[in-house]
Structure 1
Amino acid sequence: MALFDDLFIRLTSRKVGRDRFGNTYWEARSRKDAYGRPLRRVTYAGVPEASAVPPEWWGWLHHTTDRPLPEDAPRRPWQKEHRPNMTGTREAWRPPGHDAAGGRRQPSPGDYEAWTPGR
């Protein structure tokens, strides 16, 4: 984040908290959004990446909850730990048959007929 942006946020907002990744969350003292709610911001600990906001803070940041959810609350078995957006990296998910995943897919069930020009 640019130095001026960071300074502006610190001067015009109150610090609400920090998540386990080091991101800091702020609420504007006087600026409001179109609905009359205080603006809420995040300053990222590392690269500014929207997917780096954990779900406990996402709801607060988007005015879904009044307070962030507790980070130490018990997690359900289906809840996964945060992973950054992997699009465009080697770790990105690729479906079976994708060129970058070998290019081989299961044969089609036989009801597919390729289009041929001029037929």
Structure 2
Amino acid sequence: MHDTHAARLDHLDRVAHTMDRALRIPLIGVRVGLDSIMGLVPGVGDLLALGPAGYIVLQAHRMGAPRGLVARMGVNIGIDAVVGSIPLIGDLFDVGWKANSRNVKLLRDHLEAQSVAVTS
């Protein structure tokens, strides 16, 4: 993997961490992020959470992710947005789905597999 890709992935990991799992809920130990917290605000919360999610997908595209991978990342965001818009159920879903972390993992796995293929 290129050094620039590694640095960009680290940055995207931090964005995903902030959005998906930055805070631990006391007593139950579940990790939530700004995505889950913003989702509690009816209407605008889920809409605002699309910004960082879209940023991750845009960066994946700029890093050379194939269209199929970018589409899969878009589906993850779509599922998060649609189910997340359902009051209460969507908020609980957001806690477990963590679309941003899923998408960064997809990108990391792709770039690592690409790197292995080049060095083999």
Bin for the TM-score computed over the shorter chain: under 0.3
Scaled by the length of structure 2, the TM-score of the pair is: 0.27
The structure whose residues are more often strand, as a share, is 1
- Which protein has greater RCO, CA pairs closer than 8 Å, 6+ apart? 2
Q: Which of the two has higher C-alpha Rg?
A: 1
The structure whose residues are more often helix, as a share, is 2
